[in-house]
Amino acid sequence: MCISDRALSIGLTVDFVRHFDIGLVLTVLVVACIGKVGGCSLGARWSGMPSRQAWALGFGMNARGAMEIILGLLALQFGIINERLFVALVIMALVTSMLSGPMMQWCLGRKKGRALGTYLAARAFFNPLYAHDQDEAIIALAQAASTVASVDSKAVIDAVQYREQLMPTGIGHGVAIPHARVEGATTPVVAVGLSRAGIDFNAADGLPAHLIFLLLTPASDEGTQLDIITEITQLFANDHLREQALEVNSYTEFLALIKSEGAG
């Protein structure tokens, strides 16, 4: 859609302070949010989407920007709306756009700025990891992680191995991230094993895993697992960092290493 120079000039000359009407602004904002958030969320729920994701989708769709302002300028140019309503529409577009991201994070229970270092524990750090195969590695790391998380170790081992059967967790470049969401866990826990010999986690590149991160997250937390897996993947895509990680002598050195890379 093209907007005329006249419409643009009219919009630029509007006095936002003089035509600001708090009652009208709030009315437009409430009506807009109820219509968009409510409608999208309801449709998502009817399609079978879980409640929290449905609300997040609604707030994601609620963001308004350039198109609403352009339509407001055209309506103002042709006398369909007055300056008071135009100001309310512009403010509504700005507010809904700014609210979209934070509200989606809140609905999904995701916290900004999660860091891998926050969820590591010295009791769940193995250097070296004495394991000859995937099952031995998972059992050793899962038992340590379950102790830190105060959950049943057998349930953790079963959940991680079941997840491994569904899809291998070797992400390539010598890194594997076996993981599971576990009932009873109240906070994420990351157990780490360093294997010089390497353990086969069926990575697509065929390379054995030398850095194994076993991740446990609460069953009700739908966002943390993806956040941590993404952070590990991005962090250890660096060849030099992987080599440095295998050379550390202690948990303290490993923690310092990842914090120096901005992970903590």
179 is catalytic: yes
For every residue of 44-64, DSSP letters joined together read: HHHTT--HHHHHHHHHHHH--
E strand or H helix at 130: none
Opening angle at CA 36, ends 32 and 37, nearest 5: 110
E strand or H helix at 170: strand 170-172
From 19, 132, 173, 179, the catalytic residue: 179
CB 221 within 8 A of CB 109: yes
3-state secondary structure of 125: strand
Residue 134's nearest CA partner among 212, 36, 67 is: 212
For every residue of 59-117, DSSP letters joined together read: HHHH---HHHHHHHHHHHHTTSS-HHHHHHHHHHHHHHHHHHHHHHHHHHT--TT--HH
For every residue of 128-188, DSSP letters joined together read: S---SSHHHHHHHHHHHHHHHHTS-HHHHHHHHHHHHHHS--EEETTEE--EEEETT--S-
The number of helix segments (H) and strand segments (E) in the chain equals: 12, 6
3-state secondary structure of 39: helix
Which residues are the active-site residues?
A: 179
